[in-house]
Chain A
Amino acid sequence: MASADSRRMGNGGGVGGAFQPYLDSLRQELQQGDPTLLSVVVALLAVLLTLVFWKFIRSRRSSQRAVLFVGLCDSGKTLLFVRLLTGLYRDTQTSITDSSAVYRVNNSRGASLTLIDLPGHESLRLQFLERFKASARAVVFVVDSAAFQREVKDVAEFLYQVLVDSMGLKNTPSFLIACNKQDITMAKSAKLIQQQLEKELNTLRVTRSAAPSTLDSSSAAPAQLGKKGKEFEFSQLPLKVEFLECSAKGGRGDAGSADVQDLEKWLAKIA
């Protein structure tokens, strides 16, 4: 009983502010040479140290070094991922899970990033985005420029979701919209894609806020994209959204003709 009491005292002394008297009593008891008390104090210290250490490691782990590749199915995320890592062409299939690898940026500092390729299928993408978004330093949203006209609504809807999600994060990631498949002749330019997306997101803002609320109460009113009462533009967002054109496949298939230099530069910039 006595030892438990003093343990509480000792504990309180360690944490609280006015701990001088407790410390004195502790010293007294220590001088009495009570082995139980000593062992209890040591154990407590050990536990505290582990907790601090654990927290430290956890925070280290989530220090944001990840670059997420998101986008619809068949927009070329996995190939882009492969190109950046090896520079080679590989056949790909629809991804079922994520794949990640460390990427060494080619700038003076030689920093490294973790590239994470997320699956683009409708039933998976939100789950995986949820899982990885906290560790995101940057988000690369890959768009199929050749099929853009056909998919514009789906692209806009997913982009809306990703933007809202990443704006809700503590430190907002850099955002890049990579207009892939520029090697195809019918591909739309980045400029046009930007305009179309702005227009589409503008309408999407309206329809989304009018949609019936979900069954879940935890999600409060969704964050408003851009300024109210104004036509939506990407420049209104708190995070910087950049556009660039690239081609992961390249003109002649597997030869080293891929056009991803801009993307590499961008990655070097944000690293």
Chain B
Amino acid sequence: MLDFFTIFSKGGLVLWCFQGVSDSCTGPVNALIRSVLLQERGGNNSFTHEALTLKYKLDNQFELVFVVGFQKILTLTYVDKLIDDVHRLFRDKYRTEIQQQSALSLLNGTFDFQNDFLRLLREAEESSKVRAPTTMKKFEDSEKAKKPVRSMIETRGEKPKEKAKNKKNKGSKKEGFDVPLATSKAVPAEKSVGADNGVELSKEELIRRKREEFIQKHGKGIDKSSKSTKSDAPKEKGKKAPRVWALGGCANKEDLDYSSPTTNGAPEASLPEDINLIRGTGPGGQLQDLDCSSSDDEGATQNPTKPSAAKGTLGGMFGMLKGLVGSKSLSREDMESVLDKMRDHLIAKNVAADIAVQLCESVANKLEGKVMGTFSTVTSTVKQALQESLVQILQPQRRVDMLRDIMDAQRHQRPYVVTFCGVNGVGKSTNLAKISFWLLENGFSVLIAACDTFRAGAVEQLRTHTRRLSTLHPPENHGGRTMVQLFEKGYGKDAAGIAMEAIAFARNQGFDVVLVDTAGRMQDNAPLMTALAKLITVNTPDLVLFVGEALVGNEAVDQLVKFNRALADHSMAQTPRLIDGIVLTKFDTIDDKVGAAISMTYITSKPIVFVGTGQTYCDLRSLNAKAVVAALMKA
């Protein structure tokens, strides 16, 4: 029934492996690791790879992973239990081997687990077989159905009466009185027993059982109420916190104020003066750094210690003492409140809500059962893990060396085509101009294709950019070669057709790069999305960049998912062209609320290629994962 069951260390060593069928288990398991465990998608513990379903369990204390794989079409009910059993037995049996830090003991240890596993598997299979016909009973055992069913069994003779009582019970349940409910239940039960002597259970036994049940129920009620008050408190705290942060958010108004150096309405005649403004101050090829981010950064590197210190006086001391008493393994309850706080913190930093939830879930999975260091508190451990996960997410999954690829295309005598897409007003044209400036500075000639044939003024905007760029890079400086040119066919034409003509034109004229500007479109606008998908399938650009603004919150998820789906749905190819990279714009306007970067990379697992940070041509940056995470974790 099972295809395979494998146990391996997080360091990558397979300790023991059971193979039900001859296929190798390495491929699917590697796929699981790469697309679930390393992408922080470890919320639920199953994963589908081709025809297989994989279920896994992490043992964070001993750094082990248990994976079981079976055919997707099977519904094996015993798998979860089997994993738990195997996990427990394996851990107990080989405790000495897996406890050590060094990999050597893992290597030298012999894990002869076959017989034990087969026994467990047999037991699990048998138990599932036994249980198979009595599935209904299992449902009846569930808490909700427990009461009426039992009373039905016990009082065969007085069914109608009991039913009425049950109804009454239900009514009282609705009112929410725990105690009267329990007593009213206990009394009729006793009565019914007294009336019905044919039942096998003796009277005392029944009474005892009922009493136990009553105590249990009562206790649970108390538990519940205490829990709810407990969970209320952190929530309140969490709610308070963002308000404080929101007030501190608008620190650098000067940075955002771009009104003074605008070149708006400046006559074309005064171009030479303009150039310094639009060019900015930085040297072209190697762009300067962002000042405000550097100050952000300094604060960020110091700050992570601050909140723990502030909280530290009481909670920290207590945690430290706890740690000193004995190394304690983390349980989910320990982390609950900290994770709640972290989640609210992430949401306050503009990470999309569902993504914050998924992230925290994954971090909890990764930490559960882990033994904390002697001097670390729960808060610091969780924070550390979250920080690592965030860096992991932002680390690009594919190479993003655009210049390298352009050089390759140059050698093959074909233009390198980049398509920009995104919703309205996120800055597609502006950043296209910035990127063309960067390419020009590096000595590549650029053809800009104006495929926004819809919005009024779109072509004119690009024409202005082209004129300015060609003033900065006149043909005389490049041996008489036109470095930048606009390809336009006016308004109302088919965008895909214009892009195709532009690419052909670029190939003939020997341009290195074609930048295709498309019209902004909302992700819900089906006809426009179809048009975009068509443009991309027809022209097969080398790079599809999604332009998104850093201001976006929960909307980021929707945008990216729908853009990707549109591209996938309308493509004929086996492996559809999706978004290859992200340009994050308006990054200078968000201070430290950099959550959009996380949301976008988490959904697509595609890199952020460029970051737009201002209005001049050299306000283009690449992303530094550490700086962003530091800003994100900053309290």
B210 interfacial by beta-carbon distance below 8 Å: no
Complex Cα distance, B611 from A94, in Å, reads 32
Residues of chain A contacted by B65 (CB below 8 angstroms)? 93, 96
Given A123-B395, A124-B392, A213-B288, residue A93 in contact with residue B403 (CB < 8 A): no
Given A96-B38, A124-B392, residue A82 in contact with residue B13 (CB < 8 A): yes
Q: Tell me whether A211 and B403 are in contact (CB under 8 A).
A: yes
B628 interfacial by beta-carbon distance below 8 Å: yes
Provide the B82-102 mask, 1 if CB < 8 A to any CB of A, else 0: 000000000000000000011
Our count of residue pairs bridging A and B at CB distance below 8 angstroms stands at 164
Q: Tell me whether B621 and A207 are in contact (CB under 8 A).
A: no
Q: Which of B14, B102, B287 contacts A100 (CB 8 A)?
A: B102
Provide the A47-91 mask, 1 if CB < 8 A to any CB of B, else 0: 000000000000000000000000001000010011001101011
Write the nearest CB–CB distance from B611 to chain A, whole angstroms.
Answer: 6
Complex Cα distance, B392 from A157, in Å, reads 18
Residues of chain B contacted by A214 (CB below 8 angstroms)? 289, 621-624, 627
B196 interfacial by beta-carbon distance below 8 Å: no
Residues of chain A contacted by B610 (CB below 8 angstroms)? 212
Q: Which of B12, B104, B398, B620 contacts A96 (CB 8 A)?
A: B12
Q: Which of A99, A217, A218 contacts B9 (CB 8 A)?
A: A99
Complex Cα distance, B399 from A154, in Å, reads 7
Complex Cα distance, B401 from A157, in Å, reads 9
Complex Cα distance, B12 from A86, in Å, reads 16
Given A96-B12, A98-B11, A213-B289, residue A85 in contact with residue B404 (CB < 8 A): no
Given A93-B30, A212-B438, residue A86 in contact with residue B286 (CB < 8 A): no
Q: Which of B12, B393, B442, B613 contacts A93 (CB 8 A)?
A: B12
Q: Which of B7-29 contact A (CB under 8 A)?
A: 8-14, 17, 26, 29
- Chain A CB count within 10 A is highest, among B289, B397, B441, for B289
A-B contact list, 30 entries, CB within 8 Å: A78-B11, A81-B103, A82-B13, A92-B14, A94-B12, A94-B30, A94-B33, A96-B11, A96-B33, A97-B63, A119-B12, A121-B34, A122-B396, A123-B39, A123-B392, A123-B395, A127-B391, A127-B392, A203-B407, A204-B401, A204-B404, A207-B404, A210-B441, A213-B288, A213-B289, A214-B622, A214-B624, A215-B621, A217-B289, A219-B624
- List 12 additional contacts besides A93-B33, A117-B103, A212-B610; criterion CB under 8 Å: A90-B13, A93-B26, A94-B30, A95-B12, A102-B104, A127-B388, A127-B391, A206-B403, A209-B285, A213-B289, A216-B626, A217-B293
The interface of chain B, by Cβ under 8 A from chain A, is 6, 8-14, 17, 26, 29-30, 33-34, 37-39, 63, 65, 101-104, 106-108, 285-291, 293-294, 297, 388, 391-393, 395-399, 401, 403-404, 407, 438, 441-442, 587, 610-611, 613, 620-624, 626-628
- Closest 9 pairs (CB-CB, A-B): A99-B11, A95-B12, A217-B294, A207-B403, A216-B624, A91-B14, A214-B624, A99-B103, A216-B627
